[in-house]
Amino acid sequence: MADPDQLTVKTTRTSLEILSTIREADGARVSDIIDAHGMAKSTAHKHLTTLERAGYLTKSGEVYHIGFKFLNLGEYARERWYWFSAVKAAVEELSDRTEEECDFVVDDHGRVITVAESYHKWAKYGTEDGSKRYRANIGTYYPMHATGSGLAILSTYPRERVETVVDEWGLSALTDHTITSREELFVELDRTRERGYAVGDRYYTEGLRSVGRPVTAADGTVLGAVSVSGPTYRIDGPVLDREIPQALAEVVDSLESELAAMAGA
């Protein structure tokens, strides 16, 4: 069997790694790229110049940043997704029903990424001390073990696939409540399967709960998950135990019926 690295173009792979470095650093100079990738100055400069001229990078003084061309490509990728219009409508309906922030995520190589969101006009979530605030921003990646939607998707996978995700991304602690052990994760996934939805209870950020439910296509493929997120003082008691799970179930059932009809059209 061929080595996966032999099936890729090294120069292209290096350029993509440079883009990731710039994104993670929120901007980088040529010297930063040299240090991060151990390459000659001339090589780093060629990569950066090529990406800048193609529109994938912009330059402010000596600092390179991710360019707006990625916004164009990302929006195209989202809009061309066959199920997007149905998914977006379902997320908006769920937000209207729950009066909370809702989103739809998909698994992208072991992390979830938001492809649709809806912020209800009454939904407000923040922290008095100015600490991290959750919002389901389009195109943002989230660790699967720390969100209700990520856990919902993981609950549909066989154990071997979950193990692969954990091997790749780990179980980092984002709060004091985040799941950080495999044993704890698998217990939570069993609980999620039993009740049909997942609860991210302050796993991603303090004071936030998210409730997620997987969405399945007619052929059994898991497309992603819908979730409702809000502060613990609102998503608690009957709201957490009954109202949001019921709204999620009804919206997801309706969405899955529509997806089945689209598939048969």
User: 265: number of CA atoms within 13 Å, CB side?
Assistant: 9
Residue 128 has pLDDT above 90, yes or no: no
Q: Of 67, 102, 121, which residue constitutes the final position of a domain? A: 67
Which are the contacts of 261, defined by CB distance < 8 A and separation ≥ 6? none
- How far is residue 227's CA from residue 148's CA, in Å, rounded to a whole number? 7
pLDDT computed for residue 132 by the predictor: 44
Could you tell me if 30 and 104 lie in one domain? no
Tokens 């939607």 sit at which residue? 149
pLDDT computed for residue 129 by the predictor: 43
pLDDT tens per residue, range 163-210: 999 999 999 999 999 999 999 999 999 999 999 999 999 999 999 999
Could you tell me if 113 and 149 lie in one domain? yes
Could you tell me if 79 and 37 lie in one domain? no
Could you tell me if 244 and 202 lie in one domain? yes
pLDDT computed for residue 215 by the predictor: 97
Domain count, the chain: 2
Q: Which secondary structure element, helix H or strand E, spans residue 211, and what is its range?
A: strand 208-216
pLDDT tens per residue, range 7-56: 678 889 999 999 999 988 999 999 999 999 999 999 999 999 999 999 99
Could you tell me if 147 and 82 lie in one domain? yes
Residue 6 has pLDDT above 80, yes or no: no
Could you tell me if 228 and 128 lie in one domain? yes
Could you tell me if 161 and 245 lie in one domain? yes
Which are the contacts of 242, defined by CB distance < 8 A and separation ≥ 6? none
Residue 115's domain spans which residues? 74-264
Q: Which secondary structure element, helix H or strand E, spans residue 63, and what is its range?
A: strand 63-66
Residue 133 has pLDDT above 50, yes or no: no
User: 146: number of CA atoms within 13 Å, CB side?
Assistant: 23
Could you tell me if 248 and 132 lie in one domain? yes
Which are the contacts of 80, defined by CB distance < 8 A and separation ≥ 6? none
CATH number of the CATH domain containing 151: 3.30.450.40
CATH number of the CATH domain containing 46: 1.10.10.10
Query: What value does the mean pLDDT of the chain take?
Result: 89
Q: Of 45, 67, 89, which residue constitutes the final position of a domain? A: 67
Residue 122 has pLDDT above 70, yes or no: no
Could you tell me if 24 and 81 lie in one domain? no
Span 81-86, average pLDDT: 85
Q: Of 67, 93, 120, which residue constitutes the final position of a domain? A: 67
Could you tell me if 195 and 103 lie in one domain? yes
Which are the contacts of 138, defined by CB distance < 8 A and separation ≥ 6? 74, 78, 114, 115, 116, 117
Distances (CA, A) of 158 to 147, 162, 170: 19, 7, 17
Could you tell me if 178 and 203 lie in one domain? yes
